[in-house]
């Protein structure tokens, strides 16, 4: 029996991870879960999966959850960052699914790495902000990082075909989001509601807006650089609106492998949870003849500047990717609150980056200080 912790069990990845567990309940059990505000769903998850530990970020929500559980419930309820770290370090858990969204995922992920846990990485911020610092910790503590994100899972699977990792380039596919093919004039007037309509994937609000600005692809470029130890010049982003090819690798002999599948996140989640084994499931089979046509185009880097900012951030190095990430996190929140426009997201991100002098990352504190600096700096540009 395998035991796992799911940090962020009420979110899109978290609920799908639980669905994977549901399908393999004879092989995998949930030892710890965590959530933030969706107390009702946490209550249901506790009753169904009977974990040892459940962390609720907010203290009051934790009390509220306790009140609504049957008296005999054995699950221990903890709260706050301390509780989240306890779930990440939980002794029984061999795999930690880091499905919390945002910078909040950094500390618990580092804690799990230091305990030598296998990380099923779904929190983008970990590698975007921590980069080589996290990768070095993962090596030092023998804590493998298995990507959950569909693109990185695809690349990871393609790389398994070549032990020497003789890579020419990585082909990172992007759906293009809801505004593919649109120009700046059009984007000036788009609303929050428009941005939240993703053509292929159903996801949380933050990542859906990031898909619309192409920042999501930018963050994935940064992640791929660190996760696979390749140069940014070796990453080619291509727009592939059908989201069937999840990414690929061209090797030095110009042979290219790609991983295909229907856009169902349970496939990469299941792969990460059972790696290196393949497990059966009852998901829908991919029919290429039903789909008929797969198309590809170059991304419009001028209109969707967030993607080019990601390459710029990698070039600048040090804390710059963390600053871009934090600035973007703040800007997306402002956009969702209808305080700034869609195009402001990229414009403010650019201004914040221009006013930052990157520092080398030697601790989590350096990252968190860069984040704090960014929050203050974003305010100047609203
Ligand atoms: Mn992705």
Q: What angle do CA 306, 310, 313 make, to 5 degrees?
A: 130
Residue 160 lies in a domain: no
Of the pLDDT bands very low, low, confident and very high (cuts 50, 70, 90), residue 203 is confident
Of the pLDDT bands very low, low, confident and very high (cuts 50, 70, 90), residue 345 is very high
Residue 250 lies in a domain: no
Ligand 1 center from residue 67 Cα (angstroms): 37
Residue 228 lies in a domain: no
Residue 334 lies in a domain: no
Residue 141 lies in a domain: yes
Domain range holding 117?
Answer: 2-147
Residue 246 is predicted with a pLDDT of: 98
The pair of three-digit structure tokens given for residue 142, joined into one six-digit string: 């023998």
For residues 94 and 29, give the distance between their C-alpha atoms in angstroms, rounded to a whole number: 11
Q: Using the predicted structure, report yes or no on whether residue 357 has a pLDDT greater than 90.
A: yes
Ligand 1 center from residue 197 Cα (angstroms): 16
Of the pLDDT bands very low, low, confident and very high (cuts 50, 70, 90), residue 125 is very high
Ligand 1 center from residue 282 Cα (angstroms): 23
pLDDT digit string, tens, across residues 234-274: 999 999 999 999 999 999 999 999 999 999 999 999 999 99
Of the pLDDT bands very low, low, confident and very high (cuts 50, 70, 90), residue 162 is confident
Q: Which long-range contacts (CB under 8 A, 24 or more apart) does 160-163 make?
A: 160/276, 161/257, 162/249, 162/251
Q: Count the Cβ atoms, other than its own, within 10 Å of residue 359.
A: 17
Q: Where are the beta strands (DSSP E) in 217-356?
A: 235-239, 245-251, 256-260
Ligand 1 center from residue 192 Cα (angstroms): 21
Ligand 1 center from residue 150 Cα (angstroms): 5
Residue 38 gets the label, from left (phi > 0), alpha (psi -120 to 50) or beta, of beta
Residue 298 lies in a domain: no
Residue 94 gets the label, from left (phi > 0), alpha (psi -120 to 50) or beta, of alpha
Q: Using the predicted structure, report yes or no on whether residue 370 has a pLDDT greater than 90.
A: yes
Ligand 1 center from residue 211 Cα (angstroms): 9
Q: What is the mean pLDDT of the chain?
A: 96
Residue 10 is predicted with a pLDDT of: 97
CATH code where residue 18 lies: 3.40.50.720
Ligand 1 center from residue 96 Cα (angstroms): 19
Give the DSSP letter of residue 103. Answer: G
Ligand 1 center from residue 355 Cα (angstroms): 29
For residues 188 and 173, give the distance between their C-alpha atoms in angstroms, rounded to a whole number: 26
Ligand 1 center from residue 380 Cα (angstroms): 31
Ligand 1 center from residue 64 Cα (angstroms): 34
The domain tally of the chain equals 1
């Amino acid at each position: 029996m395998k035991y796992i912790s799911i940090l962020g069990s009420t979110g899109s990845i978290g609920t799908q991870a639980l669905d994977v567990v549901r399908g393999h309940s004879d092989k995998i059990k949930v030892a710890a879960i965590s959530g933030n505000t969706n107390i009702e769903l946490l209550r249901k998850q506790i009753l169904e999966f009977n974990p040892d530990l459940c962390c609720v970020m907010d203290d009051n929500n934790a009390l509220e959850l306790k009140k609504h559980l049957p008296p005999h419930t054995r699950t221990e309820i903890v709260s706050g960052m301390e509780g989240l770290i306890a779930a990440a370090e939980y002794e029984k858990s061999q795999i930690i699914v880091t499905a919390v969204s945002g910078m909040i995922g950094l500390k618990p992920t580092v804690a799990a790495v230091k305990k030598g846990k296998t990380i099923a990485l779904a929190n983008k911020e970990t590698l975007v902000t921590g980069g080589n610092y996290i990768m070095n910790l993962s090596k030092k503590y023998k804590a493998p990082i298995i990507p959950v994100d569909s693109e990185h899972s695809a690349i990871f699977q393609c790389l398994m075909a070549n032990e020497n990792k003789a890579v020419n380039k990585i082909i990172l596919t992007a759906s293009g989001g809801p505004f593919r093919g649109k120009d700046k004039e059009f984007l000036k007037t788009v609303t929050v509601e428009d941005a939240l309509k993703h053509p292929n994937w159903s996801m949380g609000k933050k990542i859906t807006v990031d898909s619309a600005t192409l920042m999501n692809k930018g963050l994935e470029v940064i992640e791929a650089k660190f996760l696979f130890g390749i140069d940014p010049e070796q990453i080619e982003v291509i727009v592939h609106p059908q989201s069937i090819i999840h990414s690929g690798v061209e090797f030095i002999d110009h042979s290219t492998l790609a991983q295909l599948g229907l856009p169902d996140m349970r496939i990469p989640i299941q792969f990460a949870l059972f790696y290196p084994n393949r497990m059966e499931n009852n998901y829908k089979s991919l029919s290429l003849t039903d789909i008929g046509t797969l198309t590809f185009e170059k991304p419009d880097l001028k209109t969707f500047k967030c993607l080019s900012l990601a390459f710029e951030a990698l070039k600048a190095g040090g804390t710059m990717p963390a600053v871009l990430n934090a600035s973007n996190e703040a800007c997306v929140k402002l956009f969702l609150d209808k305080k700034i426009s869609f195009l402001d997201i990229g414009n403010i991100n650019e201004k914040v980056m221009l006013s930052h002098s990157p520092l080398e990352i030697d601790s989590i504190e350096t990252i968190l200080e860069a984040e704090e600096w960014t929050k203050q700096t974003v305010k100047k540009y609203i």
